[in-house]
Amino acid sequence: MELRIQTLPNLVKPILPVFAFLVVCFQADAHFELYHRIEVRIEAEGSGWVEVLIHETDLAGSGIDAYLEKNFAIRIGNNPLDAEPVVDRTGTELPDGYLSASFAFSPQVESLGFRLLSDSAKRLLLVVTRPGSFPKTRDLPPGDEFELQLR
């Protein structure tokens, strides 16, 4: 009669992929809790848009304009962004409880400036997507700024 003892590593191996998946899911959820997120999408002809992802609880009873003014200073060229955002609450790519505020820019724009105001409670994850290239990210702490050259 042969006695077989199953060791702990053999029991854990089938569970590891499930555990890894859960860890990644929880980190992705925390990511949105710790960061403001802005994505700049640049089209082939040079136009594009700036999209700000906003968790509805961050609005805290104030409007989108007040939220943007409290957290960011966004420039198009040397001019402050003063356009009215296009608001989307139902986009298929939006996580539950989020909305997006988008601003378009023309091919004549040479640069965009982003400053995360120093009293912001979160960091800023800035994602830049250009045609034919992998998205580039920039992590800005409160009080920091970044100038994006579009050409």
Residue found under tokens 């640049």:
42
Q: 35, exposed or middle or buried, with CB in 10 Å at 0-12, 13-18, 19+?
A: middle
- What digits encode the pLDDT tens for the residues 11-27? 555 554 554 444 444 44
Q: What is the pLDDT of residue 55?
A: 87
- Please check whether residue 117 is in contact with residue 142, taking contact to mean a CB–CB distance below 8 angstroms: yes
> What are the tens digits of pLDDT across the range 18-72?
544 444 444 444 456 788 999 999 998 889 999 999 888 888 778 888 999 999 9
Retrieve residue 26's tokens: 């929880």
138 within 8 A of 146, measured Cβ to Cβ: yes
Predicted pLDDT of residue 31: 58
